[in-house]
Protein backbone atom coordinates (compact mmCIF):
# COMPACT_ATOMS: atom_id res chain seq x y z
CA UNK A 1 0.00 0.00 0.00
CA UNK A 2 2.84 2.41 0.79
CA UNK A 3 4.32 1.89 -2.67
CA UNK A 4 1.04 2.89 -4.31
CA UNK A 5 0.77 5.99 -2.12
CA UNK A 6 4.36 6.96 -2.97
CA UNK A 7 3.66 6.58 -6.69
CA UNK A 8 0.50 8.69 -6.42
CA UNK A 9 2.41 11.40 -4.50
CA UNK A 10 5.17 11.48 -7.15
CA UNK A 11 2.59 11.68 -9.94
CA UNK A 12 0.89 14.57 -8.15
CA UNK A 13 4.24 16.41 -7.80
CA UNK A 14 4.95 15.83 -11.51
CA UNK A 15 1.63 17.38 -12.47
CA UNK A 16 2.34 20.41 -10.27
CA UNK A 17 5.85 20.83 -11.69
CA UNK A 18 4.55 20.57 -15.23
CA UNK A 19 1.93 23.24 -14.51
CA UNK A 20 4.59 25.55 -13.05
CA UNK A 21 6.86 25.09 -16.06
CA UNK A 22 4.07 25.58 -18.57
CA UNK A 23 2.98 28.67 -16.62
CA UNK A 24 6.33 30.18 -17.63
CA UNK A 25 5.43 29.67 -21.32
CA UNK A 26 7.62 26.59 -21.59
CA UNK A 27 6.61 23.21 -22.95
CA UNK A 28 7.36 19.93 -21.22
CA UNK A 29 8.09 17.09 -23.60
CA UNK A 30 9.09 13.68 -22.32
CA UNK A 31 11.14 11.27 -24.39
CA UNK A 32 13.99 8.78 -24.35
CA UNK A 33 17.24 10.62 -25.06
CA UNK A 34 18.89 7.33 -26.03
CA UNK A 35 16.31 6.69 -28.76
CA UNK A 36 16.66 8.81 -31.91
CA UNK A 37 13.01 8.33 -32.93
CA UNK A 38 11.81 9.42 -29.49
CA UNK A 39 13.93 12.58 -29.59
CA UNK A 40 12.74 13.39 -33.12
CA UNK A 41 9.12 12.90 -32.05
CA UNK A 42 9.65 15.23 -29.08
CA UNK A 43 11.05 17.99 -31.31
CA UNK A 44 8.36 17.44 -33.93
CA UNK A 45 5.64 18.23 -31.36
CA UNK A 46 6.76 21.86 -31.22
CA UNK A 47 6.66 24.38 -34.08
CA UNK A 48 9.47 26.64 -32.90
CA UNK A 49 12.10 25.81 -30.30
CA UNK A 50 14.18 28.61 -28.80
CA UNK A 51 15.95 26.60 -26.11
CA UNK A 52 16.12 23.09 -24.73
CA UNK A 53 16.79 22.27 -21.10
CA UNK A 54 17.75 18.63 -20.76
CA UNK A 55 17.88 16.95 -17.38
CA UNK A 56 19.24 13.73 -18.81
CA UNK A 57 21.86 12.21 -16.60
CA UNK A 58 23.36 8.84 -16.05
CA UNK A 59 23.91 7.01 -12.82
CA UNK A 60 27.04 5.25 -11.58
CA UNK A 61 25.31 1.99 -12.48
CA UNK A 62 24.36 3.14 -15.99
CA UNK A 63 26.28 6.08 -17.44
CA UNK A 64 24.97 5.64 -21.01
CA UNK A 65 22.92 8.83 -20.78
CA UNK A 66 26.10 10.82 -20.16
CA UNK A 67 27.99 9.33 -23.08
CA UNK A 68 25.37 8.24 -25.62
CA UNK A 69 22.56 10.81 -25.41
CA UNK A 70 23.76 12.72 -28.47
CA UNK A 71 20.39 12.68 -30.25
CA UNK A 72 19.22 15.76 -28.35
CA UNK A 73 22.28 17.73 -29.48
CA UNK A 74 21.95 16.51 -33.08
CA UNK A 75 18.24 17.33 -33.21
CA UNK A 76 19.02 20.76 -31.80
CA UNK A 77 20.88 21.63 -35.00
CA UNK A 78 18.14 20.27 -37.24
CA UNK A 79 15.55 22.49 -35.50
CA UNK A 80 17.69 25.65 -35.23
CA UNK A 81 17.61 25.67 -31.43
CA UNK A 82 19.73 28.55 -30.19
CA UNK A 83 20.41 27.30 -26.67
CA UNK A 84 20.92 23.82 -25.23
CA UNK A 85 21.29 23.46 -21.47
CA UNK A 86 22.21 20.15 -19.88
CA UNK A 87 21.80 19.83 -16.15
Same domain, 42 and 73: yes
Q: What is the model's pLDDT at position 44?
A: 84
- Residue 4 clears pLDDT 70, i.e. is over it: no
Domain enclosing residue 48, as ranges: 31-87
Same domain, 16 and 48: no
Q: What is the pTM of this model?
A: 0.57
Same domain, 74 and 43: yes
Same domain, 43 and 56: yes
Same domain, 40 and 10: no
Q: Specify the number of domains making up the chain.
A: 2
- Residue 19 clears pLDDT 80, i.e. is over it: yes
Report the alpha-carbon distance of residue 42 to residue 13 in Å, rounded: 22
Amino acid sequence: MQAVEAMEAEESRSVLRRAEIEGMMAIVVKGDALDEASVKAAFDQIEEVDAVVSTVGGTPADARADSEACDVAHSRHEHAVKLLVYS
